[in-house]
Structure 1
Amino acid sequence: MSNDELTSYGGPPPVPPGRRRRKIWVAAGVAGLTGVVGLAALGGVAARDQKSGDRNNASDAQPAAAPKSEAPGPTTGENGRGDEEAGRGDDKAARTGAEHKGREASSGEQRRDDKERGHEVPCDSDKLIQAIEHANDNRGGTLELAKGCTYELTRSDVGDGTGPNGLPVITQAVTLAGRDTTIVRAANAEPFRILNVGRSGHLTLKNVVVKGGLTQADPIAASRAKVELSAKAAAKPAKAGAGTNAKAGAKAATPTKAPAAKAAAKVPAATGASATEAARGAGGDATLVDVAPGDGAGLLVQRGGRADVEHSEFLLHHAGGNGGAIANFGTARVAHSRVATSSAGGVGGGVFNAGVFRLEESSITDNSAVAGGGIGNGVPGLGLPGAGGTLWVWKSTIEHNRATDNAGGVLTYRGTATLTQSRVVGNHSGEDGGGLLALGDGQLALEKVLVARNSADDTSGGLGVGPESTAVIAQSEITDNVAERNGGGLATYGGTAVVRDTAIVANRVVGQNSVAGGIYNDGGQVRLERSTVQANFSVLPPGGIYTTNDGVRIDRSSAVTANRPTNCSGSPVVPERCFG
């Protein structure tokens, strides 16, 4: 094995005069690197010199080849002494060659070990910038960040046109391995995001706190987020007497009138999609959400890029666009981590996704946005297929997030969201979907999920399903959620909800004219299989299930009991197998 030791990495050797410095960071940090030569580099030179010497010694040790004789028979003295000497020479040459190969293998193993262990980066933000630049230029690598260090970033570079970044855009497979390490934007610095993964890059982040990213305001993103659950019911025929906005005056005396009234007020927010898409991403793929400079204040993963985040935290970020802490357009995985206290001017206070995103054994807490306070999977108002991505949540908590408009916890719009063995608890929306909301052909699947103590200032305290959207809820519990107008536990507006082996219990609606503390169905489909709707409350009957059509199906193994003031009596259509 080589005796080379790992030394602090301060960036690449000084470049020859005349080589153009590519970044503002290079000019700022190169002075600190002049004259620094790593021991590993010196060790490499010594190893080459040693190998060259070994080869010369091996050559000197080998006997000269015996001259050829034209006559047959031995060319040396009697008793074959020449042959024996030649044989001993061959053996010695073989041993020398084996030793040389062994040294080469040992040197190769040392280089591999050094690459796996990575380069140590001193506690200096300029050195970190230089180290990432060097990794990008040399097929990636692992950077060991200083233990207990706070790398404070004070300036940015425009990078690849996706907005200013505090660190270089990751274009190779780069690992940032921390040890109680923090990377933070300086409090008085200009707005910029912290991390950006380019189309060919792969970032692995371990044991690092990323803090304080800030991106520029994006008013287009904010306008797109303002589409609510019941507004999407505008596609349905308006009911008689629905010409009055339910929120402008008193709440509608007849609850069936309110959705159409709200739809009339809200439709304009969703109709300008093509114009805003052209304004935000001219020339892009019309079926995909384009990256904007205001997206992802902590981490942006571009389409084609990849990020793996483990045992890390994203805190105190604000994005003027989508994705307060993280905006993913590629492939991202967050495991054993926390995304908290961040906000967005558009969708996804904690996380925005338009790619493939996996959340594993992590928490999304105390974030806020216009829509999707915790997680926003897709952009409402975009009105184009493919706006949402694929979201997987496993053994995770989405808690205490807030949306000023819709979906306090999770929003999925023209995308798919699957939550398993997780908790959606204590989230709040200013409109619809306190816990979760599926819109625009969104697909939502819950298995062994607790949806509890969420609240909405209008409908669907726990979960809402819009037109053409689908929710499949299995082995879950929807409990203690509160809405102002209807659907304390679950509300469907032209969508489909399948509820299996699930309890919808102790939810409430508390407005003066509120109905359906348990389930509210306006023109959609609800199927109960081996499930319970129990002990829910509303001011007006029914407290259990309210439906405007015959789309509610209750199988023989389900029960609707002990709801106040009634179970289903007072609904325009009373579902079969619902009594009282």
Structure 2
Amino acid sequence: MSNHLNTSDAVDPTARNRRKKWLATGIAGLTGVVSLGLVAATNAGAVSRVDDLGGQQSQRDGSGQNGREGDGDQVLNVTNVPCDVNELFAAINRANQHLGGTLKLARGCTYELRNGTATTGPSTGSNALPPITTDITILGEHSSLERAFDLPSAAPALFRIFQVSPGGNLRLSDTTLRNGLVTGGDDGGAILVQAGARAELNGVKLTQNNAAGGGGVGGAIANLGTTVLKDSSLTLNNAGGSGGAVSNTGTLTVEKTYFEANKTSSIAPNGGGAVASTGGTVQVRESTFVGNQTAGSGGGLQLTAGSGSVTDTTFRLNIATFNGGGIGNTGADLQLRNVKFVQNTAILSGGGLFTSPGTTTTVLRGDAALPTDLVERAEHERSEAGKDERKDDERDAGKDERKVDERESGKGSTAEKSGERKSDKDSSAEKSEKADGRGAGDGGERHDAAKGDQREGGKSHTGRHDGTTDEQEGARQDDKGSELEKRVEEHKGTTFFGNVAGFLGGGIANNGILTLADAVLLRNQAAVSGGGINNITPGTVVIQHSVITENQAGVNGGGIFNAAPAGNVTVDTRSRVFKNNPNNCFPLGATANCQG
């Protein structure tokens, strides 16, 4: 009996029938050297056989060569896919037919996709590749799958790259998905994960994908099932509706993933420049949202229903034309832990965070204690500054008194002589001006200019009592500001730093139920009210062990503005609200532990 392996792509039907017969007979029916060899190979974990996915040779030796990858019991049947779109199409079809498999793409290959196949069902549209209907793993090997850039942006050249159908499970790694395009209400510019389907993306780049049109959601991914994103990046994706990069109505998990410059173009209630979750659950961990933008709410993340949690994540430089430059929570239960809101902008309200009525948002305690030394140092600096001002005032007052005494004592004895000297000076000045052919006004201007030039050239400026110049003092304050920013960045709690709102709530605009613990709100700005926090009926805010300082409002409530009934904002005794402009809390005296 031969131990020959068929390595061609076509499987010989005779060989397949013979293999089935072997299995039915069993190893016990084999005799001779071949039988002993097969048993030994089986015990050693290195049986060679024909691969059902396409007849390629496989070997269970843990080497990852010849179509097999893995070690021990974790062994993958691998089909190597040449750098050819037709070969990839056929390989996916074979994997679907054989109830799963693993495909390895050609290293560094760009698979240029030029045709789509229409599918049935709501929000589906066309796909470049066969829908995933079973358990398929695709190893990218630094390859790219892209819709050809020279195709027109019109049917029939509109298609996404992957669709994962109910019962399907796509594991995709080390791949770039680029330039997918759907429109007319179809969802998911690159990937559509339907209800009952699952996708896991690890080390995947999704860029320049688009779900165009007012109803299109999920510029890169539309998830109705379960999607997991790990160590991936989503950049420059666009949606006409919600979710510039990802839209979610199922279960979405995001871990160590980077979102940058994604965008949605429809106004509220749409939004989510990077991610929009309109149902189900979303969990975000150790990720970054930078420079995303929406014409609606939630420049980085929008939640309109369901629940969400965000941990150890940064929202920086995101923009919302409506509300919530960083996050817009317009209908969900949301938990935040150690989240950094840095320099986000809302044209209306909630530069960092916006919450709607009926929502519950909880900022959980950080992983480390609030840096109270930061507060103590700031209060110490304020106290010292007050002492310095009083010393300066006292010193200036003493100088003025001595000058007055000296002038008064010398007036009687020198008045006559002063009059004579003044007369002589006037006469001499008049003669000099006539000789020079210039007026007194011109001479005065030139004299003052010379003085100004001397001061500017010598960099003397205004001296201070400690010997420093204004310029040196400014540099020292800048250094203090940089150090303060660094300390806030290192704080293992949630921080709102440098966010801006064109109307209300530079840091936070709250209309729901908000709890803050171990939070720092620093240098946020609102054009009207609530530089740090703006609270509106029926909103309630509970602030615990937090710092609100150096925030600014154009009208009132530099720290906190409460437009709800008194008592809807509470500040515990461990919190500090100070040095906000024009006042710390408004209405004045209405919030306990927040004065002035």
| TM-score, length of structure 1 as denominator length | 0.69
Aligned equivalent of 2:275: 375
Q: Please point out which of 119, 130, 135 is paired with 1:159.
A: 119
Deviation at 1:526, TM superposition (A): 0.3
What residue is the counterpart of 1:522 in the other structure? 536
**Pairing 1:178–2:68 present:** no
Partner of 2:423: none
1:436 match: 327
3-state SS of 1:459 partner: coil
Alpha-carbon distance between aligned partners in 1 of 2:228 and 2:573, rounded to the nearest angstrom: 42
Give 1:491's match in structure 2, choosing from 509, 530, 546: 509
1:136 Cα offset (Å): 0.6
Higher normalized contact order (CA 8 Å, seq sep 6+, divided by chain length): 1
> Separation in 1 of the partners of 2:3 and 2:304?
57
Q: CA deviation at 1:43?
A: 12
Aligned residue number for residue 464 of structure 1: 354
Task: Give the deviation of 1:101 after TM superposition.
Answer: 3.7
**Match of 1:279?**
none
Structure 1 residues 217 and 470: CA distance shift in structure 2, 3 A: same
The code of the aligned residue for 2:272 comes to: G
Query: Is 1:128 paired with 2:88?
Result: yes
Q: Is the 8 A contact 2:290 2:318 kept in 1?
A: yes
C-alpha spacing 1:578/1:2, structure 2 compared with 1 (3 Å): farther
Q: Distance in 1 between matches of 2:140 and 2:351?
A: 40
- Which residue is equivalent to 1:332? 227
Unmatched 5+ stretches in structure 2: 50-56, 61-66, 69-75, 365-492
Matches within 5 A, 1:18-29: none
Kindly indicate whether the alpha-carbon contact (under 8 Å) linking 1:2 and 1:107 is maintained by their aligned counterparts in 2. no
- CA distance in 2 between counterparts of 1:555 and 1:55 reads 76
Give the aligned residue type for 1:368: K
User: What is the match of residue 313 of structure 1?
Assistant: 205
Give runs of aligned pairs for residues 181-192 of structure 1, distance below 5 A.
Answer: 181-187=143-149, 188=151, 190-192=157-159
**2:431 maps to what in 1?**
none
Opposite residue 362 of structure 2, the aligned amino acid is: V
- Structure 1 position 574, deviation (Å): 2.1
SS at match of 1:579: coil
In 2 relative to 1, CA 43–409 (structure 1 residues): closer, same or farther, beyond 3 Å?
A: farther
Question: Quick one: structure 1 residues 41 and 338, their matched pair in 2 at CA, closer, same or farther if it must change by over 3 Å?
Answer: farther
Structure 1 residue 516: Cα displacement: 1.0
Residues in 2 aligned to 1:579 and 1:406: alpha-carbon distance in whole angstroms: 33
- Distance in 1, Cα, partners of 2:144 & 2:573: 57
Q: Residue 579 of structure 2 aligns with which residue?
A: 562
**Aligned 8 A contact 2:38 2:47 in 1:** no
Query: What displacement does 1:186 show?
Result: 1.2
Give the RMSD, CA atoms, in angstroms.
2.9
Which residue does 2:307 correspond to in 1? Answer: 416
- What displacement does 1:50 show? 13
- Cα distance in 1, alignment partners of residues 131 and 581 from structure 2: 57
Q: CA deviation at 1:569?
A: 3.8
Matches within 5 A, 1:375-394: 375-378=275-278, 388-394=279-285
Larger Rg: 2
Alignment of 1:541 with 2:552, yes or no, is no
User: Which segment is superposed worse, 186-195 or 202-211?
Assistant: 186-195
In the alignment, the residues of structure 2 paired with residue 47 and residue 103 of structure 1 have an alpha-carbon distance, to the nearest angstrom, of 20
Aligned residue number for residue 455 of structure 2: none
Which moves more between the two structures, 187-196 or 102-111?
Answer: 102-111
1:417: Cα distance to partner?
1.4
CA distance in 1, matches of 2:549, 2:3: 72
1:2 and 1:500 mapped to 2: Cα distance?
70
Instruction: Report the Cα distance in structure 2 between the residues aligned to 1:304 and 1:375, rounded to whole angstroms.
Output: 21
Q: Does the Cα contact within 8 Å between 2:562 and 2:587 map onto a contact in 1?
A: no
Judge conservation of contact 2:324–2:349 (CA < 8 Å) in 1.
Answer: yes
Aligned partners of 1:102 and 1:160: how far apart in 2? 51
Q: 1:445 to 1:47 in 2, by over 3 A?
A: same
Structure 2 distance, partners of 1:107, 1:433, is 59
Q: Distance in 2 between matches of 1:43 and 1:483?
A: 74
Q: Give the secondary-structure state (helix, strand or coil) at the position aligned to 2:530.
A: coil
> In the alignment, does 2:38 pair up with 1:38?
no
Amino acid at match of 1:298: A
1:297 aligns with 2:264: no
d(CA) in 1 for partners of 2:517, 2:281: 23
3-state SS of 2:86 partner = helix
Does 2:144 match 1:144? no
Displacement after TM superposition at 1:2 (Å)? 7.2
Q: What are the equivalent positions in structure 2 for 1:237-316 lying under 5 Å apart?
A: 294-316=186-208
| SS class of match (1:323) | coil
State the partner residue of 2:337: 447
> Matches of 2:34 and 2:86 in 1, distance apart?
47
Alpha-carbon distance between aligned partners in 1 of 2:568 and 2:287, rounded to the nearest angstrom: 33
Equivalent residue letter for 1:413: T
Contact 1:51 1:100 in 2 (8 A): no
Aligned 8 A contact 1:4 1:40 in 2 = no
Cα distance in 1 between the residues matched to 2:20 and 2:188: 50
Cα offsets for 1:10-47 (capped at 9, x unmatched) = xxxxxxxxxxxxxxxxxxxxxxxxxxx33987996799
Q: Is the 8 A contact 2:77 2:101 kept in 1?
A: no
- Cα 1:506–1:127, aligned 2, differ >3 Å: closer, same or farther? same
Partner residue of 2:259 out of 350, 364, 368: 364
Q: Once the 2 structures are TM-superposed, how far is the Cα of residue 177 of structure 1 from its aligned partner?
A: 0.7
Which stretch shows the higher mean deviation, 561-570 or 323-332?
561-570
Residue identity matched to 1:107: V
Equivalent residue number for residue 500 of structure 1: 517
Aligned residue number for residue 551 of structure 1: 568
Task: Flag the 1:464–1:173 CA change in 2: closer, same or farther, 3 A.
Answer: same
SS at match of 2:95: helix
Instruction: Measure, in 2, the Cα distance between the counterparts of 1:415 and 1:364.
Output: 22
After superposition, the Cα gap between the structure-2 partners of 1:50 and 1:526, relative to the gap in structure 1 and judged at 3 Å, is closer
Cα deviation digits, residues 266-304 of structure 1 (max 9, x gap): xxxxxxxxxxxxxxxxxxxxxxxxxxxx11111111011
What's the counterpart of residue 383 of structure 1?
none
Aligned equivalent of 2:164, options 197, 205, 210: 197
Q: Please state how far the C-alpha of 1:97 moved relative to its aligned partner.
A: 5.3
Normalised by the length of structure 2, the TM-score is 0.67
State yes or no: 1:118 paired with 2:78.
Answer: yes
Aligned CA distance change for structure 1 residues 2 and 421 (closer, same or farther; 3 Å): farther
For the residues of structure 2 that align with 1:136 and 1:119, how far apart are their CA atoms? 13
Q: Does 1:214 align with 2:181?
A: yes
Q: Does 2:217 match 1:322?
A: yes
**Distance between the aligned counterparts of 1:316 and 1:163, measured in 2?**
18
- Give the direction of change, closer, same or farther, for the CA distance of 1:172–1:509 in structure 2 (3 Å limit): same
- Partners of 1:49 and 1:579 lie apart in 2 by 85
Deviates more, 1:355-364 or 1:93-102: 93-102
The question of whether the paired residues in 2 share the 8 Å contact of 1:492 and 1:521 is answered with: yes
For the residue of structure 2 that corresponds to 1:424, the secondary structure is strand
Question: Contact conserved, 1:159 with 1:168, CA < 8 A, in 2?
Answer: no
Partner Cα separation in structure 2 for residue 499 and residue 55 of structure 1 = 68
What is the deviation of 1:159? 2.5
Alpha-carbon separation, structure 2, partners of 1:451 and 1:204 = 32
Task: Give the secondary-structure state (helix, strand or coil) at the position aligned to 2:93.
Answer: helix
